[in-house]
Chains A and B, each alone.
Chain A
Amino acid sequence: MSGAVRRFDVAVIGGGSAGLAASITAARQGARTVLLERQGSAGGMGTAALVHSFCGLYLLRQEPGAVLANPGFCGEIERRMIEATGMGPQRFGRVDVLPQHPVEFARIADGMLAAESGLETRFHTVVTGVEREADGWRIDLADGGRMFCKALVDASGDAVVAGWLGGGFAVAPAAVLQRPAYVFGVRCGAVLDDAGRLRVSGLLVEGLRAGALPSAAMGLSFRASGRPGEVFGSVDLTGGVDGAEFDPLDPACLTALETTGRRVAHEAVRHLAERDPEWMGAYVSHWPARAGIRESRRWIGEHVLTGDEVTAGATFEDQIALATWPMEMRETARGPKLRFPVDDRPCGIPLRCLKPAGLERLWVAGRCISTDHEAQASTRVMGTCFATGEAAGREAAKVADA
């Protein structure tokens, strides 16, 4: 459709968990909506990066049983995913998590997107810039095409709109940015119970000691996918390249992440296949389309949600969703450090966090909403991104309608 000019009420940049919810919600409000996604499926980190848990769907609670924090879109996704995998929420320590399968997520997203008559989905669509116009936004596409919309939702994860406008965003110092994860699929008959996982840890350390594995293998962990014979591996990486600091917006840095992830995964799986009878014949069966980025640019909105507010479980008159995931710090590649709120309280996310300061007809959703570095460690998770996406879609549709 190169060269054609298209007009929409709402355009959503990025079809990850936030953009999926935003576009479907906007279309349901009657807005003529377009979803623009660079990959070949929606789902973002949950499909392209193979992140296989929905975190942040449920309230923190002592009592057994998982309770949705944000019904609505989250409830729809939860129901469809449980139907697809046959697996309900699981409690790990103090948190409830819904295991999700990336293959099912992409298919579920296809179905939900196709069900909305007012919604056009455009995969393999790269946006190169936006320009503010009198009654909305002009969107420039890599194929030379242009679109116009009355209201724009930035669900890019990287706050790309702020990047193009040249301001209005913040990025944490490279030393504390949450480290990325490289997730891959493994075909393998091993039963990853407690004993199996401990044996894997022991064998990997042996390989590291012997110099047979790269040091980045220290960031490896494995988990059963829920399907027989399938395991997900995950490597937390430091993200630096040749001593330079981690920059999740730099293609050179991202290239190093992808190649390091593949190398560690390949060597570790081969190592285990040679040494653990249960891993005999195991192989890497599935690379992600991209490494999993946890944090990059954040918008500066009318309110900046802080780590202190998350800790206190703050409430706001204009809150549109609850953040319930503990602040999961991944500032090193040595595993998560969880910071829980007082009395397990959920924290309200005010609508003002979705409203970039001083910019009309623009909303933001997902991991790049307006928070500080600490609060983002809670709000970045997919369960919360669905909820902020839903709210952004609803608000954008109102503006477009006016």
Chain B
Amino acid sequence: MVEPVVAITGLNFSFDGLPILENVDLQIEAGDFLAVLGPNGGGKSTLLKLMLGLLKADSGVIRVLGQSPGEAGGRIGYLPQYTHVSTSFPITVLDAVRMGLVQPGFRGIAGLMRSDGEMDKARKALARVDMLGHANRVLAGLSGGQKQRVFIARALVDEPELLLLDEPTASVDSTGRTSLFKLLVELNTDMTVIMVSHDVSALVSGVKSVACVNRNLHFHQAPELSGDMFKRAYGGEECCPVELVTHGHVPHRVLGLHPEDGGEDS
């Protein structure tokens, strides 16, 4: 049997005495494309940070790529939330991507970082996100969507086995969003993808499974958004699942009921 990419059992995490995640179990097989949905503050980003070892769980077991959190750093590509990066940092696009090649531990932080091999890898990653033409520009001069692509290239550059994306579509307009999702589906052919989003529009074709996180985690093998899932993830009847109204065809995001539980649950 192939070992799951992520295996979480009985995970609990609280912050300042407030429970953020309770009794979470999750198993993700290689090749999956998991969308993690839920309201802001529901614990989605926390879950990613626990997988990365940036936060320590109160109890429970987390295994990522067969290792403990924080040990597999060199095999994971991570896209942090956009807001974490300084806007005036003096760096070119190419150099920013090369940071994704830094290796774990002390041998990774030594030296002045210059090698042709690294430059080639960085250029390849930039080509993949369609940003090669901007390689020598200063990062601060790019638009929000372009920066997001650069950070995805940084996550990709070391050819990770697992891609963790925290709100990849934040600060990206709707056309950019479509091409971004297309890119992620493409990347999914080579690696397992876990994408966190507070936005149900992240539930695009290509997503293979869905986890709804709001203190608890509910895993759904099929990429369907049922009313029940929505209620669990976002809470209450008062919350309307239709987040987009267009002319013409209804956006194909609200899909059929779950056959196994009839869409309703006790």
Do A and B make up one complex?
A: no
B residues within 8 Å of A by Cβ?
none
